[in-house]
Each structure stands twice: as structure tokens, then as C-alpha cells.
């Protein structure tokens, strides 16, 4: 797919980007090359290829799902201006 300078200007307007007039042709060439590459990649036969989250066969290291802090709600609510049945009371904002 080949983009024109007009296409690049439209894209820049939609993305709210300011592009110098002398750079528009360069952007058009680069973006066209990227779109051509995506077209080629879309034509590759991927039947039998399993999707993966990472290009290398690695196991993701996860931390243990353990509590690291103690419940301090009572401490925080003791210094709150207004609390009722474990909830913070705040002024009504919407009428």
C-alpha cells in the first residue's frame, strides 16, 4: 500500500501531530514500507503455529500470592473526619 503526502497530512491531523512540510514525503515512504511489511506478514501461512506471549520459550516468574501488609483500616479510620459502620462519610457532590 502506498501512502501519499495527502494521506500523511490527514493522519497527522487526526493524531494531532505537527509535521514539517519537508518531512511529509519521508514519512509517507516510511509508513508505506511498514504497511507493505504488514501485508507480507499477513500472507504468511501460520496454520499449525501456536500463539505465544513471548518469542522465547520462557516461564514467567511470579511472586508468591501472600499478604505482605496487615489490615490497618481501624488505624486509618481513627483519624478520618467521619466514619460510620466501617465506611468513610463524605459530602454529597451530586444533587
How confident is the model over 29-47, as pLDDT tens digits? 999 999 999 999 999 999 9
> What pTM did the predictor assign?
0.52
Q: How many domains does the chain have?
A: 1
Over residues 48-85, the pLDDT tens digits come to 988 887 788 778 788 889 999 999 999 999 999 999 99
In a domain, 80, yes or no: no
Indicate if the pLDDT at residue 95 is higher than 90. no
In a domain, 15, yes or no: yes
Mean pLDDT of the chain: 91
In a domain, 87, yes or no: no
In a domain, 22, yes or no: yes
Domain that holds residue 19: 5-42
The alpha carbon of 61 is separated from its chain's Cα centroid by a whole number of angstroms, namely: 22
Amino acid at each position: 500500500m502506498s501512502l501519499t503526502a495527502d494521506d500523511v497530512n490527514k493522519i497527522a491531523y487526526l493524531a494531532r501531530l505537527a509535521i514539517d512540510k519537508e518531512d511529509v514525503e519521508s514519512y509517507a515512504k516510511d509508513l508505506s514500507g511498514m504497511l507493505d511489511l504488514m501485508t507480507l506478514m499477513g500472507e504468511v501461512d501460520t496454520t499449525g503455529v501456536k500463539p505465544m506471549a513471548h518469542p522465547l520459550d520462557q516461564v514467567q516468574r511470579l511472586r508468591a500470592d501472600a499478604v505482605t501488609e496487615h489490615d490497618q483500616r481501624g488505624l486509618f479510620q481513627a483519624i478520618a473526619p467521619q466514619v460510620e459502620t466501617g465506611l468513610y462519610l463524605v459530602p454529597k457532590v451530586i444533587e
